Amino acid sequence: MLQDVPMVMINKRATRIAVSALFFLTGLCFSSWASRIPDIQQSLRLNDAGLGSLLLALPVGSMIALPLTGVLISKYGSRQMLLIAAAAYAAVLPTLGLAHTAWELSILLVIFGFCGNMANISVNTQAVGVEAMYGRSIMASFHGLWSVAGFTGAAIGTAMTGFHMAPVYHFLIIAGISWTLLLLTMNHLVLRVPNENKVPSLFAKPDNFLLTLGIIAMCSMICEGTMFDWGGVYFRRVLLVREGLSGAGYAAFMSTMASGRFIADYLTTRFGVKKMLLLSGSLTATGLIVAVIFPYFFPAMFGFMLVGAGVSAVVPLVYSAAGKSTTIAPGMALATVSTIGYMGFLFGPPLIGFVAQATSLGVAFTLIAVMGAAIAVMSSRIKI
C-alpha cells in the first residue's frame, strides 16, 4: 500500500539512484533480448520476412499497454505498478528462449512488450517525481542510463553468444540481476508522485499542449527509428562502404545519443526546455541533410553524430514536460504522449522503405530531415 509520506522526508540521492537502477533494468532486459534475436531466428528457422513479421508482436504489446498503464498508475501509484511491471518484464524474458514455434514466440513477445512498456511509463512517472524533489531537469540522465544499459546488454549478449550459451540461460542470468536490483531499490522509490492519483479516465482527451508534445515525440522517434533500422543500410547502399563498416554510422549515432543525454540536463537547466528542443530539432535536420548532400564516409559519420546529439534530449524533455501536466495525472499524461510518440517507431521505418522503393534512400532521408525541422518549428510555438 502507498503511504502518505511527504516527499521531503525521502532521501533524494537514494531515490535518484533507485530510479536510475530501474531505468538500467528496463534497458538491460530489452537489449538482452535484442542481442540474441539472430540466434533465436536461427533456432526457429525463420527467414527475414518471417522474423520481420514476428517482431511486430512486441510493439503491439507495447501499444496495448499504453492507455491501460496510465489508468493503473492513477489508481494504484507508479511505485506499485513499477515493481509489478519490472518484475514481470524480467520474468517473461527467459520464456522467450523457451519458445519452440513462431506462434509461441509471438504470443510471448506481446506479453514482453506489454510488461516492458508498463514498466517504461511507470519508471518515467517515478522520474517525474524525482525531478519534483530536485526542482531541476534530470530526466535526460535517466534515459542516458537506459542507453548505457543498451550497450551493456549488447556486450553481454555478444559474450554469451561467443560462449555458445543458450538464450534461455543467458536470459535467466539477466532476470536474476533484474530481480536483485528490484529488491535493493524497492524501498527507495518515490512513494507519491505529485498529482499521480487524479481520477483516471481510459479515454481522456489530450489537450493541445499534450497533443503537441506527442507529435514532437513522434517526429523524434521517426528519426530514431530511421537510424536504428536504416542507418546501416544507408552506409552500405548509398556510401558503398565495405561490409565491416556498415555499422559505423549506427555506432556514431548511438555514441552521441547516449553521451548527449548526460549533458542535456545541465544544458536544459541553463538554457531552458524550449531552446533545447529548438536546438535538438535543428541538429537532427542538419545532420540528416549533411549525410544526404555529402554521401561520403566521414561527412555521413559527422551527420549521423549530429542526429544522435539532436534526438538525445527530445523524448526525455517531452516526457518531463508531460509529467508536469496540470490537466491530467502524470501517468496518464505520459501514456498519452507515449502513445502518439510511439507511432514514430511503428510507422517511421516502413515509411522509409516505401519512399526509398519509389524514389531513393537519399530522398527518404531528406523526408526524415523534415521531421527534425518539425521538432524545432513546433517547439517554438508551445509554452514550456
Fold (CATH) for 208-379: Growth Hormone; Chain: A; (1.20.1250)
- Binning the chain into helix, strand and coil, the percentages to the nearest 5 are 80, 0, 20
The one-letter amino acid code at 128 reads V
Alpha-carbon span 21 to 75, nearest angstrom: 24
Domain boundaries, the chain: 7-186, 208-379
Locate 314 and state its grid cell: 527530445
The one-letter amino acid code at 218 reads M
The one-letter amino acid code at 353 reads G
Q: Do domains 7-186 and 208-379 have the same CATH topology?
A: yes
Residue corresponding to grid cell 522503405: 353
pLDDT in tens, the chain (384 residues): 334 444 444 589 999 999 999 999 999 999 899 888 888 988 999 886 777 778 788 888 988 998 788 889 988 999 999 999 999 999 999 999 999 999 999 999 999 999 999 999 999 999 999 998 998 889 999 999 998 998 888 889 888 988 999 999 999 999 999 999 999 999 999 988 877 666 555 545 668 889 999 999 999 999 988 887 788 888 888 998 886 677 788 888 988 998 999 999 999 999 999 999 999 999 999 999 999 999 999 999 999 999 999 999 999 999 999 988 877 888 888 888 988 888 887 778 778 888 888 888 899 999 999 999 999 999 988 877
The one-letter amino acid code at 193 reads V
Contact predicate 196/329, CB 8 Å:
yes
CATH architecture, range 7-186 = Up-down Bundle (1.20)
Alpha-carbon span 54 to 95, nearest angstrom: 16
- H-state helical runs in 77-101: 78-96
